[in-house]
Amino acid sequence: MGTGLYLKRADRARYFLGEQGAGTYLNGNEFKLWFSAGDIPAGSLLKSVTGNIRLDTDPSGAWCSDLALAFHQGASPILQVGGYDVLPGVVTYVDWGEGYEGAGTVINKSFIWVTNFPDDIDLSAMTIRLWNGWIDDTVASWSGTLDFTWVPTP
């Protein structure tokens, strides 16, 4: 499977960042589109977010935890998971809680609704992007996977 490919099933999505040493490169403050609003069925409530990621390169001082998922409804940031910098106006920010070092550092972490973020985030209305949440002129690459799951509303 190549870098940047993703799987989408009835209740989950996985972004494959790439194999170790051949991962996804992002410049500082660069966003990479994963899903546009409407790509996920209406009434799909975010249930969990999981990161199994490794920072492969950090020539400008990036950390593993700089990689973030950003969930926007229109222009408004609703949820941010990870990233050093916090999006202005974000409603809920969840820190990885680990990965605060350079190349070779890993994150293996999961977050669930109610405990870590609200239980009413309807993914059908969200634009979901990967983001290098270190806004300095840093380029870095990450390998591994990012996953999220959802449940349909009754």
Question: Domain residues of the chain, as ranges?
Answer: 14-152
Is the pTM higher than 0.85? The answer reads yes
Q: Is the pLDDT of residue 148 over 70?
A: yes
With the C-alpha atoms ordered 103, 106, 110, 116, is the resulting torsion angle positive or negative? negative
Q: What is the mean pLDDT of residues 48-68?
A: 94
pLDDT score at 6: 61
DSSP 8-state symbol, 109: E
Say if residues 143 and 108 touch (Cβ distance below 8 Å): no
Query: How many CB atoms are closer than 10 A to CB 28?
Result: 18
Q: State the Cα–Cα distance between residues 75 and 54, nearest whole angstrom.
A: 29
β-pair type (67-73, 76-82): antiparallel
- Res 1: pLDDT: 41
- Pairing mode, if any, of strands 127-132 and 31-35? antiparallel
Predicted confidence at residue 132, as pLDDT, reads 95
Q: pLDDT tens digit string along 78-126? A: 999 999 999 999 999 999 999 999 999 999 999 999 899 999 999 999 9
What pLDDT is recorded for position 137?
74
pLDDT at 128 over 50: yes
Three-state DSSP string of 35-71: ECCCCCCCCEEEEEEEEEEEEEECCCCCCHHHEEEEE
What is the reported pLDDT for 151? 92
Does the pLDDT value for residue 2 go beyond 60? no
- Name the percent of the chain lying above pLDDT 70: 94
Q: Does domain 14-152 have CATH number 2.60.120?
A: yes
3 state SS of 6:
strand
Q: Average pLDDT over the chain, rounded to whole?
A: 92
Please report where in the chains the tokens 């106006």 appear, as a residue. Answer: 89
